[in-house]
């Protein structure tokens, strides 16, 4: 299978995991968070859904920049999940801007968002 095909398959599988709630957005709140950060966190946790085409474009760009040996291309599921997590963090930062959270506070809070396997 070509790296680009594998990337597309992994992107589709990662998005499906998130939609099926096998992968969830986890945000570890801090005691000193303002109401704006908490509201943004709740909004992201409740309604953020990734755009598969945007995720594929990010993975495809990284693949285009790759100059290593064949067979070690950056298209594994771990790398796709890493990109997906960064997309969620960017959405969280945007949501915090809408809630008028100061930039330094938003940057600290952004790093507390992760994607985790659902433990039902």
Model pLDDT for residues 22-44, shown as the tens digit of each residue:
999 999 999 999 999 999 999 99
Q: Domain residues for 113?
A: 3-117
- The pLDDT score that the predictor gives to residue 32 is 92
Q: Which residue pairs, CB below 8 angstroms and at least 24 apart, start in 91-94?
A: 91/44, 91/48, 92/27, 92/40, 92/41, 92/44, 92/48
pLDDT of the chain, 120 residues: tens digit per residue = 788 899 999 999 999 999 998 999 999 999 999 999 999 999 999 999 999 999 999 999 998 888 888 878 888 899 999 999 999 999 999 999 999 999 999 999 999 999 998 765
The per-residue DSSP string of 56-104 comes to: HHHHHHHHHH--S-TT--S-SHHHHHHHHHHHHHHHHHHHHHHTT--HH
- The pLDDT score that the predictor gives to residue 39 is 96
């Amino acid at each position: 299978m070509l790296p680009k095909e594998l990337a597309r398959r992994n992107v589709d599988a990662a998005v499906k995991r998130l939609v099926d709630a096998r992968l969830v957005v986890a945000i570890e709140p801090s005691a000193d968070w303002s109401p704006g950060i908490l509201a943004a966190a709740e909004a992201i946790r409740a309604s953020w859904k990734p755009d598969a085409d945007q995720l594929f474009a990010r993975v495809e760009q990284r693949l285009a920049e790759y100059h290593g040996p064949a067979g070690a291309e950056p298209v594994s599921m771990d790398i796709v999940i890493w990109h997906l997590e960064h997309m969620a963090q960017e959405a969280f930062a945007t949501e915090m801007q809408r809630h008028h959270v100061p930039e330094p506070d938003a940057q600290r809070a952004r790093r507390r968002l992760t994607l985790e396997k659902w433990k039902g």
